[in-house]
Amino acid sequence: MSSGWNTIESDAGVFTELVESFGAKSVEFAEVFTLDPDELRNIQPIYGVIFLFKWTPELARSPDSDENGVFDRESSNLFFAHQKIQNACATQAILSILLNRADIHIGETLNDFKEFVADFGAELRGETLSNSDLIRHVHNSFSRPTPFINEAAMNQDSTTGEDVYHFIAYTVTNGKLYELDGLQPYPISHGYCDDAVFPERITDVLTRRIARYPATEIRFNLLAVVHNQLELLEAAGDMAGVLQEKEKRATWKRESVLRKHNYVGMINVLLKGMVADTLQKEGESGLEKRLDDGMRKSMKRLGQM
């Protein structure tokens, strides 16, 4: 298996900038806070949704089940790829929507990739995706800088017990609602669907899926892939909405810059300055006392005292 894919967070601004970096146009992501068809209808047209959830072996899908969808083994004209890299699932879920919607302008980069893998099976498509330097480079450009190596996280056989989260895609194509999960052997069909009834259908599917978890589990995230809202508001002449949308995008941009910045150097300089100032004013004994006080307070907060 290839390596070199970093984790990126589930964030509407991150995913919007990601697809724009691929060359896709007129697409953005919107956070969905409730499983309410009306909320989804308010942001139509919707091209699909990206669902983030905690993956556990116990709740992994069993073979074909009418209630939870059925494997579609004959969907040869559907883009579906097996996931070959652990941290690639966010971008893979996004591409599973972009490359299956003829009404999205995906740009030259993704169009070339789609044509190149058109005759490949799901296994080879996954290998090709994971080995794409261009797609990996764009994906990694949206990860947070990691100045310290986490050896446990690097070891895929680690038994640290940390929670594992997974992205999957749902979209409408060929007159069906598909669940596209690279960890599954085939695309999963949830039956007839079109864009008009998608809000109701996807709400039902996700409600049943979430119901399989304990009632105390609330760590889910849902992002809708929608048409560029700024374009729609400008076309409608809604200037108040345009201003609000521009402010939202400006916030996304600021957060993106902060997210990509490595603050270790700045923190190092600040700590050195604080140590030098303390030594000058209080001497080594004063510095040791401050360090001891800080250690005790930290351990108390952690419940270790």
Residue 51 backbone class (left: φ over 0; alpha: ψ -120 to 50; beta: rest): beta
CA angle centred on 248, ends 243 and 250, rounded to 5°: 95
Strand order in the sheet with 27-32: 27-32, 221-227, 46-55, 164-173, 176-180, 188-192, 70-71
Catalytic residues: 89, 166
- 133-145 in b/e form (b: 16+ CB < 10 A) is eebbebbeebbee
CA 67 to chain CA centroid, Å, is: 26
pLDDT in tens, 46-101: 999 999 998 887 776 655 556 678 999 887 789 999 999 888 899 999 999 999 99
What pLDDT does 238 receive? 94
- 8, 29 in Cβ contact below 8 A? no
- 138, 21 in Cβ contact below 8 A? yes
pLDDT in tens, 213-234: 888 888 899 999 999 999 999 9
- State the amino acid at position 175 in one-letter form: G
